[in-house]
């Protein structure tokens, strides 16, 4: 895969440059405001034929520092197997800087899921350990849908925790989302069934211990009864092996996507990378603030590479994007 970024004054102009340089088959990986805030930066990728993928576009591309990527992954305590695959892929990909090399490697290794802005085929059910940030993430998901002009319903199963109802009622009122409470599985099934199909529906659950079979059984029954898609919610930080085992437990209950919370309270992200990899979970979004108004941040390979790499690699990317633009 070949990755390249393009900076221009407008999106149509940036897209024209993408097509000119990479042709009609280029895939857009990310669209962000440019660093000076006046334009737009588009990162695009092109799948190469196997032979082409062995050649660098430009001899200068070989200047990507694999050591720098290795240091960053070691800092994040990325476990050895995943570390080797990411380094191997970063070294094999023709890219103009570390961000794009690691972005391409992350793209090979992980799936990325879109953040919904409207109704989903089935209700989403947020599951995770106590205090992971499930309720805040549910509110942030509703906020995103409301901002896009859609209707949202929040169903909470957490009806007994002291202060729990007050917390979620305040969120629902502030967001203009409909709130319903489901103290048991039958009520949950009835409420989920009754929700109009043109509404975004998210179910907030009670914190569950991934290493407790009863807790996991309860979540599996709830997801089946509500015909919901479970989404694992795990906080950033923590031991990579623990995160991986927790992710596998939540995947067994049916989770195929991951929302990572509290990336603002951790410095090392090997834990959630390990969770996504071990559980086969697509990275969906990150929470970086306790405030609902700050929302969830969508993930893509390039934004994740920027999160993992040190500031000097990011400033080099900015410089090379300016040259390209």
Ligand X SMILES: Nc1nc2c(ncn2[C@@H]2O[C@H](COP(=O)(O)OP(=O)(O)OP(=O)(O)O)[C@@H](O)[C@H]2O)c(=O)[nH]1
Interface residues with Mg ion (CB under 5 A) are: 134-135
Q: Which of residues 258-287 bind ligand X (CB under 6 A)?
A: 261-262, 264-265, 287
Q: Which does 290 bind (CB under 5 to 8 A by kind): Mg ion, ligand X, none?
A: ligand X
CB of 253 to Mg ion, least distance (A): 17
Cα dihedral 309, 313, 318, 322 sign: negative
Residue 135 interacting with ligand X (CB under 6 A): yes
Enclosing H/E stretch for 75: helix 66-75
Residue 168 interacting with ligand X (CB under 6 A): no
Of positions 182, 203, 246, 288, contacts ligand X by CB under 6 A? 288
Alpha carbon distance 261, 239 (integer Å): 15
Go through 70-103 and write b for each residue having 16 or more CB atoms within 10 A of its CB, e for each that does not.
bebbeebbbbeebbeebbebbeebbbbbbbbbbb
Q: CB nearer to ligand X: give 119 or 287.
A: 287
CB of 109 to ligand X, least distance (A): 24
Phi, psi of 99 (to 5 degrees): -60, -45
Alpha carbon distance 142, 152 (integer Å): 6
Stretch that binds ligand X, among 103-111, 194-202, 244-252, 256-264 (CB under 6 A): 256-264
Q: CB nearer to ligand X: give 105 or 136.
A: 136
Q: Which of residues 180-219 bind ligand X (CB under 6 A)?
A: 207
Quick note: the x/- pattern for ligand X over 148-167, rule CB under 6 A, is ----------x--x------
Residue 133 interacting with ligand X (CB under 6 A): yes
Residue 238 interacting with ligand X (CB under 6 A): no
- CA-nearest of 310, 225, 305, 269 to 79 is 269
Of positions 289, 297, 314, 324, contacts ligand X by CB under 6 A? 289
**Interface size with ligand X, residues (CB under 6 A):** 19
CB of 183 to ligand X, least distance (A): 14
Phi, psi of 210 (to 5 degrees): -65, -20
Q: Which residues contact 260 (CB under 8 A, 6 or more apart)?
A: 234, 235, 236, 272, 283, 285, 286, 287
Q: CB nearer to ligand X: give 100 or 138.
A: 138
- CA-nearest of 315, 227, 308 to 263 is 308
């Amino acid at each position: 895969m070949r990755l390249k970024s393009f900076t221009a004054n407008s999106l149509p102009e940036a897209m024209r440059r993408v097509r000119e340089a990479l042709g009609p088959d280029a895939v857009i990986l990310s669209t962000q405001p440019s660093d000076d805030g006046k334009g737009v930066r588009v990162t695009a990728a092109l799948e190469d034929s196997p032979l082409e993928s062995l050649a660098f576009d430009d001899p200068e591309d070989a200047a990507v520092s694999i050591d720098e990527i290795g240091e960053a992954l070691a800092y994040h305590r990325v476990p050895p197997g995943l570390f080797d695959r990411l380094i191997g892929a970063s070294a094999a990909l023709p890219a103009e800087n570390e961000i794009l090399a690691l972005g391409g490697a992350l793209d090979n290794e992980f799936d990325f899921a879109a953040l919904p802005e409207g109704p989903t085929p089935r209700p989403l059910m947020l599951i995770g350990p106590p205090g992971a940030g499930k309720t805040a993430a549910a509110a942030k998901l509703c906020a995103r849908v409301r901002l896009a002009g859609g209707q949202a319903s929040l169903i909470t199963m957490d009806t007994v925790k002291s202060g729990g109802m007050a917390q979620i009622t305040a969120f629902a009122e502030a967001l203009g989302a409909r709130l319903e409470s489901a103290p048991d599985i039958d009520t949950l099934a009835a409420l989920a069934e009754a929700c109009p199909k043109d509404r975004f529906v998210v179910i907030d659950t009670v914190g569950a211990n991934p290493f407790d079979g009863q807790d996991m059984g309860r979540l599996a029954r709830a997801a089946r009864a509500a015909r919901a898609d479970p989404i694992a919610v795990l906080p950033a930080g923590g031991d990579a092996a623990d995160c991986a085992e927790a992710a596998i437990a939540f995947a067994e209950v049916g989770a195929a996507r991951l929302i990572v919370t509290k990336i603002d309270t951790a410095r090392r992200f090997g834990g959630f990378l390990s969770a996504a990899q071990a559980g086969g979970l697509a990275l969906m979004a990150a929470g970086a603030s306790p405030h609902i108004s700050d929302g969830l941040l969508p993930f893509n390979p390039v934004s994740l590479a920027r999160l993992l790499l040190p500031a000097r690699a990011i400033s080099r990317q900015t410089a090379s994007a300016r040259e390209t633009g």
